[in-house]
Amino acid sequence: MIDDHPQRYALVNELHARPFPSLTVPCQAVYLAVKEPIEAANRDRDRDLGHLRALLARHGAAHPAPGATHHSAEIGRHVLKWESHTEFVTYSAFEPGLGDRPFDPRDAEVFPPDWLRAAPGKRIAAVLVRVEPLPEDMEQAVAKLEDWFVPESLAASWVLDEAAIIAGDFQIDPAGLMRFAVFVRPGTGARRVGRIVQRLCEIETYRAMSMLGLGRARELTGRLNALDPQLSSVVAALPDDHRAAEATLHELLELSAELESLATRHSFRFGATGAYEAIVNQRIDVLRETRFMGRQTFGEFMRRRYDPAMRTVKSAEHRLEQMAERAERAGELLSTRVDVERSAQNQKLLESMDRRADLALRLQHTVEGLSVVAISYYAVSLATYALLPLADALHWPKSALTAALVPVILGAVWLLIRRIRRGMH
């Protein structure tokens, strides 16, 4: 036997942690996604679990385990499914049967208003899905769709090899809910119905989450519009020799710092937007849509209404990257110019130092010559006094003695100073 990796079973269980619901027709689903407005990825997840426990306690349902990321329980006539995601939590309540009034706001009261007000976050998505049997007469289905939804934005299509018709207008009704309808062909399995409903809820949730980047992109675009002329002005001033390079470099560094700050603040949201957009498109693709009665499909609706928003986000992100690269290249060019100017200044400084050293050397030689004379003068005087008795004994006059000592002492002093200078060098 070989020991298992400590996370082997946990990783396998993660594959089965979020099964699709099994729904019988007719039924309805109420779906809610809650997100913290700020720093949602770093939120206190214990508050999410506490809020879930408060709902379960009202119905005497079993509580989730500490640190759980998903949980299912029965609350009254509903089956509740709770999931915790990176930035948000979702609540799905499935109820068999349908009320007499289609899309009645009271159907969403499975989530009590006082409990909703205490939620640790804000509502980012709220969906009401009505699941009915597919009528034999398609005109009945068309009449219901025209009565329930806004015709101008209605999207409807066959899905999963014409197992069902899905429809929605992506409009928020007065109760704050987004409506979707599903007409299921007889004989369609309960798990397939559950997959359709789950994917509709996920499409709306990830659409909403991805479009959070649109507001950031518009805010960023406004700031980039202000920074772009400044950056262009700095780049245009690079060849100007009359403008101080250090001042230009300082201005460029300020622009680069702000661009890096903008990139840091928006990188997570833009990255998340790209990931959520991919999930939306993947969820639509797996539905395998075909056209229903000439209506636009969900994929076509997204291409017309949703994709332009995503392109705006990508355009803002790309523009920020381009401006940061421009500032970086300009900084490199300006740094090179500053280095060249400093090298020229250093060269001039070295030349000046060489001239000063040469002058100092000449002065030193002059001083050394004067020093030889001065030292010789005092040495001759001392030697004259020292040898004067001997000169008197030999009947030499003092002037003769002094004249004889001058060349000897002058040569000796010169040799001594030269020797000292050689020893120092």
Instruction: Please report, rounded to a whole number, the percentage of residues in the chain having pLDDT higher than 90.
Output: 62
The pLDDT of residue 221 is: 94
Tell me how far apart the alpha carbons of residues 417 and 371 are, in angstroms, rounded to a whole number: 9
Of 98, 109, 108, 63, nearest in space to 82 by CA: 63
The pLDDT of residue 383 is: 79
User: 392: pLDDT confidence band, cut at 50, 70 and 90?
Assistant: confident
pTM equals: 0.78
Tell me how far apart the alpha carbons of residues 262 and 220 are, in angstroms, rounded to a whole number: 8
User: 424: pLDDT confidence band, cut at 50, 70 and 90?
Assistant: low
Tell me how far apart the alpha carbons of residues 211 and 208 are, in angstroms, rounded to a whole number: 5
Two structure tokens written together for 268:
């997570």
Q: Work out the angle at residue 360's Cα, subtended by the Cα atoms of residues 355 and 364, and round it to the nearest 5 degrees.
A: 150
Cis peptide before 21 (omega within 30 of 0): no
Two structure tokens written together for 198:
């789950």
3-class SS at 130? strand
Tell me how far apart the alpha carbons of residues 84 and 67 are, in angstroms, rounded to a whole number: 10
Residues 343-386: pLDDT tens digits? Answer: 777 888 888 888 888 887 777 766 666 677 777 777 878 878 78
Residues 97-107: pLDDT tens digits? Answer: 998 899 999 99
Phi-psi label, residue 207: left if phi above 0, alpha if psi -120 to 50, beta otherwise:
alpha
CA 367 to chain centre: 70
Residues 93-137: pLDDT tens digits? Answer: 999 999 889 999 999 999 999 999 999 999 999 999 999 999 999
How many beta carbons lie within 10 A of that of residue 97, not counting itself? 9
Of residues 78 and 378, the one with the higher pLDDT is 78
CB-based burial, 106-137: b 16+ in 10 Å, e otherwise? ebbebbeeeebeebbbeebbbbbbbbbebeee
